[in-house]
Amino acid sequence: MIELVKYVFLGFVQGITEPIPVSSSGHLVLFEHFFGLQISGLSFEVLVNFASLLAVLYIYRADLIQLTTNSVSYLFASDKTESMKKDFYFVVYLIVATVPAGIIGILFQDKIAAVFKGVKVIGFTLIITGIALWFIRNLKGRKDDGELTLKDSILIGLSQAVALIPGISRSGATIVSAMALGTKRETALRFSFFLYIPVSVGGMILSLSDLIHDPRIGELFLPYTLAFIASLIASYFSLKWFINIMKQGKLGYFSIYCFVVGTAVVLFG
């Protein structure tokens, strides 16, 4: 029973922290460290991340259907509308922004993890995340979906690659860079979470073999399933809440949180 509670708890932590800019992977490491919880391998983290992905897909389902429909129509329709063009290039820029983290992750993720390891590192990177959030907390932006540029997508993609460092929030890094480039809050939020889709799918595909061939897969089926459900539910409500926070322009809350938690980890970790 204690083992089940451990997995459900970590799944809940992942779900709550994935959508918000506080580094879900960093929080998993912190909770495992301070509460004496230990889960070996990346299959668990990838699985609960995939649960978060499903929540993202469900919440943004209408937007994703529109993007897909308009993008395909733009390619094949003889009468191309401005809406089709805007959504088509939005998808193109999403693909471009996915490339930096994909290449750097494949080539250097193990080295990055080896260099930036330890609880105190996460404390420092949380403080860095807090500083970045503080600087853009009051920005409103002027660019909407149709005003993004190739340069914007490359820079946002590079910021997502920076989030390969433990403790640097992926959503935080991409939202900060997008807003610093002048995008509106809603556009920054949508672009960030649509970027999460290929990252999560790619991670799931790459780890699928390890998950299937895990010698403990039989005994882990129930705790993994419960953790997956906990992460799915928590991610849904956390993302809905974060969307509301973004509309109100209250990113400063997360900045303060990162400062406090990061400082505490550096001092006492």
Query: What pTM, to 2 d.p., does this model score?
Result: 0.92
Which range, of 56-65, 73-82, 257-266, averages the lowest pLDDT? 73-82
Task: Tell me, letter by letter, the H, E, C secondary structure of 13-47.
Answer: HHHHHCCCCCCHHHHHHHHHHHCCCCCCCCHHHHH
First to last CA, the chain: 28
d(CA 200, CA 53): 7
Residue (of 90, 88, 58, 93) closest to 76 by Cα position: 88
Residue (of 125, 145, 232) closest to 185 by Cα position: 145
Note whether 238 and 21 are within 8 A (CB).
no
Q: In this structure, what are the phi and psi dihedrals at residue 143, rounded to the nearest 5 degrees?
A: -80, 130
Per-residue pLDDT tens over the stretch 178-231: 999 999 999 999 999 999 999 888 878 877 777 777 777 777 788 889 999 999
Mean pLDDT over all residues of the chain? Answer: 90
The better pLDDT of the pair 24, 45 is held by: 24
d(CA 39, CA 226): 15
Per-residue pLDDT tens over the stretch 149-180: 999 999 999 999 999 998 899 999 999 999 99
